[in-house]
Chains A and B, each alone.
Chain A
Amino acid sequence: MAKINGEEVNANNLLITEFLSENGYSPERVAVMINGEILPKADYAKTRISDNDEIEVVGFVGGG
């Protein structure tokens, strides 16, 4: 199980791109942190979620 945005999620082996699309996130409008480090966008399509990963997906909305 990985912890994603504070919740235990069974997403092992899922690519970050797959997780984003399954959960309605636009890759252009997010920042993804894995175990406290920012994940470059170029790595979204080659990074698989591992057991015990702590992931934060921040989705941005417009307005300011």
Chain B
Amino acid sequence: MEITEEDFKNAVNSRSKFPIYEKMKNAVIGVAGLGGLGSNIACALARSGAGTIVAVDFDTVELSNINRQMYTIKHLGMKKTQAIKAIISEINPFCNVITYDMFIDEKNCTEIFGGCEIVCEAFDNAKSKAEIVNALLLSSRKVKVISGSGMAGFGRANDITTKTVSERFFICGDMKTDVADGEGLTASRVMICAGHQASKVMEIILKDYDKHKNNDC
């Protein structure tokens, strides 16, 4: 079935009084890490019409990822960057997915995400999370950072929240449950955290729209 971008736009905007698609189409959003958080964040944003997603990961899809990441059996052995690109092309073929198959750290993150207005930190490792968040917030650009911390284990869904740390820094999670505590990671809690992160992206993008709209009035 042939779907035009106009069809897709109308479907995204259906039942909304705001032109969500048009605003999302102009957004350039970074996703650092394409695991449980990143793969779910990227797909949620693609469904809402994200125009450009800069997706970065060095890893390949393994069987142990399937319990919480967007990948399926057919993606096993593929680079996560290529797999997410393939998945998003089936969700929203009009989303431009720019991929970097590489290890991202505090030294290269500001350059890789240089064109992004918002970056979602979606790493697994606590030290790596802290490094990239610090580096992005220290960069002179006013990039906004939405991080995920504390979504391991099962249950306690309502403990996962979004906290505004500053006007440029938001953190989603329960801030406590560490995968090192041995309860593992489950799709349900990881997707809640990813949902919080993607939701904050949309809130930032559409709040700006609201503001401009009011100014125009």
The answer on A and B forming one complex is yes
- Chain B residues 12 to 61 lying within 8 A of chain A, measured CB to CB, are 33, 35-38
Please name all residues of chain B whose beta carbon is closer than 8 Å to the beta carbon of A31 when the two chains form the complex.
Answer: 130, 133-134, 137, 165, 169
Instruction: Count residues of chain A with CB under 8 A from any CB of chain B.
Output: 18
Nearest CB in chain A: distance from B162 CB, A: 13
Q: Is the interface of A mostly helix, strand, loop or mixed?
A: mixed
Q: Tell whether, in the assembled complex, residue A62 and residue B126 are in contact, meaning their CB atoms are under 8 Å apart.
A: yes
- Mark B138-154 against chain A: 1 for CB-CB distance below 8 A, else 0: 10000000011111100
- Chain A residues 1 to 55 lying within 8 A of chain B, measured CB to CB, are 28-31, 33, 36-38, 40-41
B129 contacts chain A at the CB level, 8 A cutoff = yes
Partner of A30, one of B33, B124, B130, B166: B130
A10 to B211, CA, bound (A): 39
Please name all residues of chain B whose beta carbon is closer than 8 Å to the beta carbon of A28 when the two chains form the complex.
Answer: 127, 130
Query: Which of B81-89, B97-105, B109-117, B173-181 makes up part of the contact surface?
Result: B173-181
A9 to B147, CA, bound (A): 26
B198 contacts chain A at the CB level, 8 A cutoff = no
Q: Tell whether, in the assembled complex, residue B147 and residue A60 are in contact, meaning their CB atoms are under 8 Å apart.
A: yes
Q: Tell whether, in the assembled complex, residue B166 and residue A36 are in contact, meaning their CB atoms are under 8 Å apart.
A: yes
Q: Tell whether, in the assembled complex, residue A56 and residue B178 are in contact, meaning their CB atoms are under 8 Å apart.
A: no
Q: Tell whether, in the assembled complex, residue B166 and residue A64 are in contact, meaning their CB atoms are under 8 Å apart.
A: no
Q: Tell whether, in the assembled complex, residue B130 and residue A64 are in contact, meaning their CB atoms are under 8 Å apart.
A: no
Nearest CB in chain A: distance from B165 CB, A: 5
B190 contacts chain A at the CB level, 8 A cutoff = yes
Ranked nearest first, the 10 interchain pairs of A and B with the lowest CB-CB distance are: A63-B179, A61-B178, A38-B137, A63-B152, A64-B124, A60-B129, A62-B126, A60-B126, A64-B37, A62-B179
Q: List B residues at the A interface (Cβ < 8 Å).
A: 33, 35-38, 122-127, 129-130, 133-134, 137-138, 147-152, 165-167, 169, 171, 173, 175-180, 185, 190
A-B contact pairs, 18 of them (CB 8 A): A28-B127, A29-B127, A29-B130, A31-B137, A38-B134, A41-B134, A56-B165, A58-B133, A60-B130, A60-B149, A61-B176, A62-B129, A62-B178, A62-B179, A63-B124, A63-B152, A64-B35, A64-B37
